[in-house]
Amino acid sequence: MSEEKKSFLDEVTAIPGGERLRTCIQCGTCGGSCPSGPDMDYTPREIFAMIMAGMREQVLKSNTFWFCVSCYFCTVRCPQNIPITDIMYRLKRMAIQAGYFEASITDFSETFVGQVETYGRSFELGLATGHYLRHHPLQSVRMSPLMLGMISRGRMAFTPQRIRGARQLRAILRRAKELGGAW
């Protein structure tokens, strides 16, 4: 299929197992199972109907997938075996590519991934302080007792752990990004 003829549905389903989305029967089990459903603009069932209808912009501008907590209740309950959680991840990636997002929503993921790419391991103190100071400076005051508690109990490191193969890992990830366009 040529690039311009690719429908929104084709793009969304282009992940391992994603084709199952075409079998959605609109039963609503997903929305009824979702612990953060009440905070979503549209329930997963509604989002799937909108995807079928080609409503690209409304779907990718919605907050639905950002509220997905990856609990997999919808996935295990779906009578059509649609990998719903993976489709939510897919929508997040598409929304980022389209530029439809508030920076603070994806920044947590980006900060996390940036650290992993640099050091090979995640660095919780840097993650927590960096994220809060940038986006929620007032909240960071409220969070400081928590941080102090974690630090005083030795549960937060002050320096990141760097793996020996950090350079090798970066080479792998760089190659994966070059190859990764279609996913």
Is residue 171 within the footprint of another protein (CB under 8 A)?
Answer: yes
Total residues interacting with another protein, rule: CB under 8 A: 64
Which of 53, 69, 133, 141 contacts another protein by CB under 8 A? 69
Residue 71 lies near another protein (rule: CB under 8 A): yes
Written as six digits, the tokens of 35 are 């612990």
CB closer to another protein out of 72 and 100:
72
Please list every residue from 33 through 62 that binds another protein, using CB under 8 A.
35-36, 39
The C-alpha atoms of residue 51 and residue 94 are separated, in whole angstroms, by 13
Residues 79-98 that bind another protein (CB under 8 A): 85-86, 89-90, 92-93, 96
- State how far the Cα of 9 lies from the Cα of 22, in Å rounded to an integer: 8
Residue 100 or 108: which CB sits closer to another protein? Answer: 108
